[in-house]
Structure 1
């Protein structure tokens, strides 16, 4: 849950947006406040070593070029970045007449790796507009107030991540954007991280070998940051190297700056469209997790994705097939699977209900499910409570996949029903009205780890979810009822009488046909050339509990009692 300190800081920064009212559209608030928040955070982080950096810079700048000087300034800074401008946020206010030029000098003073991230905010346009509205000095003044101090001693890295995400949620809300594209509730991330690591005893018990983790739609980096934090809670010696790619320039800049501050390699976070241009093509990772957009079409990426599918097949990401253009979630899952190491990787991804069952046998979606299940990569699916996310109240599921299943999991898929494992929030945040409490995270994790049947856990063979879709033909007849045949004497099929049957994989097709079809249509036959194998997972079906209907006389008695009570109430009204 978000603590008081985070709420106070986020609300304080959010209040600065009031200064923009009238001169900026609400949809523009975030383009001003978010980058200035990032700059102020960087300013506070570098505050303690600022003078040392300037002294070293002034000492060596005349005898060293920028590339040679860079490691010396990083050493003085104590971080992987620095700023060589003489200004800080506070000293910018000392010269109100030149504040625009001085702020630009300050931004240009950042080391190359930091500047390349900051420029994604495209802040120059907003600075000019702030100057023209006579607001630049006023807004910067708000950021240097003592209560707005973002020094690491006052606000930890994980708290700062919360603040960024809370601000993005608020700005997205007022501009009618999709906040959920940037923000995954931390309790969901914690559950995903638990599911990722519980099967890996080596990383949980102390390994000096660094492991890699990747998110193809990393947003502000919340999942990557939280994964590292939660893993450190489980094993303080564990080393996790984050990698990610993000489409949105602003959220990419937030993620990149956060990586800089934490001492991670910000170059591991790439800016670009993962589906169009996978900037980690052919790179493999130990762990992967993601919350790609729900039900978002991929029409803009269709040309590049289709080209990769047709040209590379299974040598690329999408060999198993392409989903319908209205929902690209399966494309992200295929991207993750393509990055599994031969020696083993683990994946946790949040998806909506559509990938479970959308698409008939032979469709792109069904073929993708077939590919995943027949390769025995799917370990478990966990149904989550509704109203967990900020932009949607729909049902969501965590899929857990691995190409290094434990022996007892091989050929099996576990379904965990956690839909009722939630607590109501005192205050809603967008569509988020419920959260997964700590006890539920522990129980779900334990249920997954135990791999046993229970009220909330069902375990099935892989072929439980597969079926043969057969085409049943009946003969074409003339007006007198005689069967029409082809040149070989075989009956011609009547397209108007054509039907299909879906037969579970674990059942013999011909036994089923003789039992369920032949008794009713004796002249029918199976067109074997049209048989297709499909896979679907109707999750709720496996946890359905039949409720015995109440006796009719019991219901009638209840209705009569209600009518009697109603008559009594009406009688008292008329007496008045």
Structure 2
């Protein structure tokens, strides 16, 4: 179906909403009527030619065989599809009796097979029919949909004036349906959700998916789309394989599977499956991320355009129990820096779940040991899948999982404004778990962002398309693995990196002062609000705060202070205030014993505190002592380094540490272990979190050599905290396809400025002459 016919159908169906539903339904509810009626009319058109044959079979089963429950198999055989309607009515014949229209319409719906009734249920069509009947517009709506001016049949038709109306293909059905959804969403200022994939993109995806294995296809093929929408990718894939004039030569039996969470698009997809004679039971309704409907299945080919930029928070409870992954689809085994294999999280940020659909497809790949072909995947993503997420995070772990397993064959950048309701840049990922020899250990990037032709008329946000020549060009680049300006081949490791943490020692000075001792009156987490409360109510905070509760809460609300329920409870707790007062008094006793000496060595200060507490026979819990130490100390670059721990390492213990660090004893300071005058003793200093930094080291570089070359010359006392070293993966098209544009010369810029000045001067003179004439 060409764009002209497509636009005419959309315009006519759109006009039905304006002509029949205005002043009856609010504008935002038009779609609830138009979309299900559109699907219903499509099914009605398909069943019209076999109506009499189906009714004869119904009569035979009931009258001659005496069946009370009809056998669906012969009825499907007579209809020619995997669905049927046993009612005496068609949509056209319903108009013959307007006075009984609603009852007859419901009788018509009741006549459908169970699989169509499920579609009707997801569209909530009976409820909409009731509203239309009450508003006296049901007749008008049906009359419009059966009008000879539009053709929703798979066969060509004639308009009332004799014009030839082209047939509506299954893919065309999907286009019209998605365009209607887009228009309704724009009317309501809503996001359109999942983006319908343009046919030329599907054509490119099927080329990339099937051509590399053409001639080696098994006799039975399974194709899966975990976010199937209206089913366009599934039906086009089948057409590509089975069409004698298509791109693949095979007689394989093809079985389509999919899942869709949106009731309307699920209904259209399931109806498409029925129309084509595929098993509609292979299309499941619900969230792919929440439940694994195909847990026992593996598929030969998978392709999808999953929703991107869409939260998966509502599915999180099915995937995680707290922070622990419970769904094995989103759990991976990855080696850490030391080579130890660990179970890692493979869930991206909750605001964008597109990579979870990639993990779902990876989970459904056939092992090459059980199926020589293995599995092939084509998936559309936006740019965030390439680079978002820090090293060790879920998104990076997913990229790492598919790259280190050598499944990524290629990623193709598409032109912007190629999709109907988004202008963002999109990418096609091609994965295979049975790469050809020349692709092993490699990833091809193709920058097809400039390969497009403009549309004469925009379709939503879509203002361009891939021509057949562009599709062929990209396919040939992919198959040949050519290296040129728009196609480059890299090693898998080129996209990996170590993220190392570089620490520097904490240096603290300490001293008892009246101001620092007084600060212990207040709880650190709520210091400011505590200071206000004490200034306002004085010693009442130690006796009775209930009388001031309303004033405190009013102040918090008025000043819009963010405070947790736990901290608010502490603020209003007399017990907590008394504990802080007691802590302040202990600090004063320590000050009296130690004096106001300035300690430039915090380690000495801590020893002094400990010995004084012991001599005064004061016992403090660790958090209380820490609060006193924190209150009396501050960062000072001239102070001595703070010692965290002294390690006694010798023999096997030292060998194990050196082996783990992959270092010699002389290298230990580079990893935070500093030798002392005492043999076999090594100091580990406390790291200053405010001076902490990170470095990104290419995966093929030695971390230690990088540190010595790039960090140590600039920060002599820094060390690497290898325990925090993470491995990450990112893919940047801008980095690999950046084209430098030379700056214009000063002469050119100056000439432009002079030209502008002369033009401006001329305008001013004209303006002044005009004003003088006035």
Q: TM-score range by the shorter chain?
A: over 0.9
Q: Deviations for 1:285-312, whole angstroms, at most 9, x for unmatched residues?
A: 1111111112111111111111499465
Instruction: Please report how far the alpha carbon of residue 562 of structure 1 lies from its aligned counterpart in structure 2 after TM superposition.
Output: 2.5
1:266-305 paired onto structure 2 within 5 Å: 266-305=280-319
2:221 to 211, 214, 227: 211
Between stretches 224-233 and 35-44, larger displacement belongs to: 224-233
Show CA shifts across 1:464-507 (max 9, x none).
Answer: 11111111122334635544443334140331322211100111
Task: Please state if 1:322 is matched with 2:347.
Answer: yes
Deviations 1:526-569 (A, max 9, x none): 12222111111122111112222222233223322321233234
- Please give the alpha-carbon distance, in whole angstroms, between the structure 2 residues aligned to 1:360 and 1:163: 41
In 2, distance between residues paired with 1:327 and 1:161? 26
Tell me, yes or no, if structure 1 residue 487 matches structure 2 residue 646: yes
TM, length-normalised to structure 1: 0.95
User: For residue 128 of structure 1, what is the aligned residue in structure 2?
Assistant: 130
1:571 aligned residue: 765
After TM superposition, list the pairs within 5 Å mapping 1:31-180 onto structure 2.
31-62=32-63, 63=65, 65=67, 69-154=71-156, 155=167, 156-180=169-193
Query: Residue 372 of structure 1: CA displacement?
Result: 1.3
Contact 2:414 2:427 in 1 (8 A): yes
Report the Cα offset of residue 431 of structure 1.
Answer: 1.9
d(CA) in 1 for partners of 2:4, 2:250 = 30
CA–CA distance in 2 between the matches of 1:236 and 1:369?
Answer: 34
Alignment-derived partner of residue 17 in structure 2: 17
The answer to whether structure 1 residue 500 and structure 2 residue 694 are counterparts is yes
Q: Residue 519 in 1 paired to residue 520 in 2? A: no
Q: Which residue of 2 aligns with 1:230?
A: 240
In structure 2, relative to structure 1, the CA distance for the partners of 1:66 and 1:339 (3 Å cut) is: farther
SS of equivalent residue, structure 1 residue 225: helix
What is aligned with 2:492?
462
The 8 Å contact of residues 221 and 255 in structure 1, kept in 2 or not, is answered as yes
**Is 1:475 paired with 2:522?**
no
In structure 2, relative to structure 1, the CA distance for the partners of 1:64 and 1:398 (3 Å cut) is: farther
Report the secondary structure of 1:549's partner residue.
coil
For residues 383-426 of structure 1, the C-alpha deviation after alignment (integer angstroms, 9 at most, x for no partner) is 11111222221121111111111111111111111111122222
3-state SS of 2:118 partner:
helix
1:298-377, aligned counterparts within 5 Å?
A: 298-307=312-321, 310=324, 312=326, 315-319=328-332, 320-343=345-368, 344-377=374-407
SS at 1:181's partner residue? Answer: coil
Please list the CA deviations of residues 95-119 of structure 1 after superposition, one character each: whole Å capped at 9, or x if unmatched. 1111101011111101222222222
Structure 1 pair 65–331 and aligned structure 2 pair: CA distance change class (3 A): farther
Partner of 1:426: 456
Task: Tell me by how many angstroms 1:208 deviates.
Answer: 6.9
Q: Structure 1 residues 123 and 242, CA, compared in 2 at 3 Å: closer, same or farther?
A: same
Listed one character per residue, the Cα deviations across residues 426-477 of structure 1 (whole Å, up to 9, x for unaligned) are: 2222222222222221111111111121100111111111111111122334
Q: 1:308 to 1:6 in 2, by over 3 A?
A: farther
Contact 1:182 / 1:251 at 8 angstroms: preserved in 2? no
2:4 match: 4
**TM-score normalised according to structure 2 size:** 0.71
Contact 2:87 2:108 in 1 (8 A): yes
Name structure 1 gaps, 5 residues minimum.
none
- Superposed CA deviations along residues 50-82 of structure 1, whole A, max 9, x for unmatched, are 111101211112435476622111222122211
Return closer, same or farther for 1:556/1:6 CA change in 2, 3 Å cut-off: closer
| Greater C-alpha Rg | 2
Other structure's SS at 1:487 match: strand
Helix, strand or coil at the partner of 2:741: coil
Residue 195 (str. 1) matches residue 215 (str. 2): no
CA distance in 2, matches of 1:180, 1:224: 19
The answer to which of 83-92 and 145-154 deviates more is 145-154
Q: Which residue pairs with 1:545 in the alignment?
A: 739
Secondary structure (helix, strand or coil) at the match of 1:163 reads helix
Work out the CA distance in 2 between the residues paired with 1:483 and 1:180.
56
Aligned-partner Cα distance in 2 for 1:78–1:9: 26
Change beyond 3 A, Cα 1:165–1:481: closer
Q: Would the alpha carbon gap of residues 308 and 381 (structure 1) be closer, same or farther in structure 2, given more than 3 Å must change? A: farther
CA contact (8 A) 2:387 2:730 kept: yes
Contact 1:182 1:220 (C-alpha < 8 Å) held by counterparts: no
